[in-house]
Amino acid sequence: MSKVSRRQFIATGAAAAGAAMLTTPRWAYASKEASMEQYGGFRVGIQSNVLSGYSPELEPMLDNIAELGLHWVEFANWHYEVTDDPDRIAEVQGLLEARNIQMDAYFLGEIDSNGDELRRTFEFARQNGVSVLVGQPNEETFPILHELVQEFDIKVGIHNYGPNHRFDLVEDLIKAAAPWDWRIGYCFDTGHTMRAGEEPVDAVRRLGSRLYGLHLREHAVVSRDPQPPESIVGEGAMDLEALCVALRDVGFSGPLSFEVYYNPQQPMEPMRQSLANFAEAAQATA
């Protein structure tokens, strides 16, 4: 009989759990507590954009998230637009509750300096239980955010984007957040920092206690030039166990959202393998 590695065992279990989920009543999905135990204490979810090409409609996308056994989602704004319509908010919250999923973070993309719209966005975030708003503020936006994060006690995570973006390097994030209220911090994308030629583990340690969100993705190598190909998380150039240790060392407790673009048109199996690899690394370092 061939020997089965721990990684193969976990991956097989994750695939079996995903298959079972298709026939399991929604109320029977595993608890959030069990999920956190599976992932070494981290609040593991998904960035909804990963599923855009596979399941662009809201309800099928949420079914896919539940199939993966995940309980947290960071919505991209094109999946669920900012609204002050109480019926729409109640509708989406009902869809989430039926699948035991929580909207933990919200991705805005570019954050402009329209004060009225920003206030509307923070009200929307509060009504949906969002802990972190993610995006790329411009210079004029920071003073407005400074006031709103204090008023609403909702964090903002500046998102890095790698080469040729104003938030390219880790130092760009640190300099941008430094003058403002402590609730303005970072949502760190491990893949973009690899594309920028920086090591994710070192970046986490530099970002420290103002790290409020994580987008977990991986590339085959750390390289700025040439740009590296995507990989399954745990199978590229990132030291996944060292990353887990670094996250714990800086006290990270925010949403950890997977973004795996290894095969965007068929993302489920790469996601399952990535989740299994992360579970192995997180448990090994817990």
Query: Consecutive sets of 10 residues in the chain, 286 residues long: mean pLDDT of each?
Result: 39 43 46 95 97 92 96 94 97 97 96 96 98 97 98 98 96 98 98 98 98 98 98 98 98 98 96 98 97
What is the distance between the alpha carbons of residues 259 and 190, in angstroms, rounded to a whole number? 10
The residues facing 258 across adjacent strands are 46, 216
Task: Let me know if 57 is exposed, middle or buried by CB neighbors in 10 A (0-12, 13-18, 19+).
Answer: exposed
Asked if residue 239 belongs to a domain, the reply is: yes
Supply the pLDDT for residue 29: 56
* Number of domains forming the structure of the chain: 1
| Distance in angstroms (rounded) separating the CA atoms of residues 20 and 186 | 36
Tell me, what DSSP letter sits at residue 30? P
CA angle 240, 241, 246 (to 5 degrees): 95
| Non-local CB neighbours of 281 within 8 Å, separated by 6+ positions | 40, 234, 240, 241, 243, 244
**What pLDDT, on a 0 to 100 scale, did the predictor assign at position 78?**
86
Within a domain: 250:
yes
Tell me how far the alpha carbon of residue 144 is from its chain's centroid.
Answer: 25
**Cβ atoms within 10 Å, residue 186:** 30
Domain that holds residue 73: 6-285
pTM of the model: 0.90
Give the whole-angstrom CA distance, residue 165 versus residue 157. 16
Nearest to 180 by CA among 141, 126, 129: 141
CATH number, domain containing residue 221: 3.20.20.150
- Say if CB 213 and CB 206 are below 8 A apart: no
Domain membership of residue 107 (yes or no) is yes
Please indicate, yes or no, if residue 1 is contained in any of the structural domains: no
End-to-end CA distance of the chain: 31
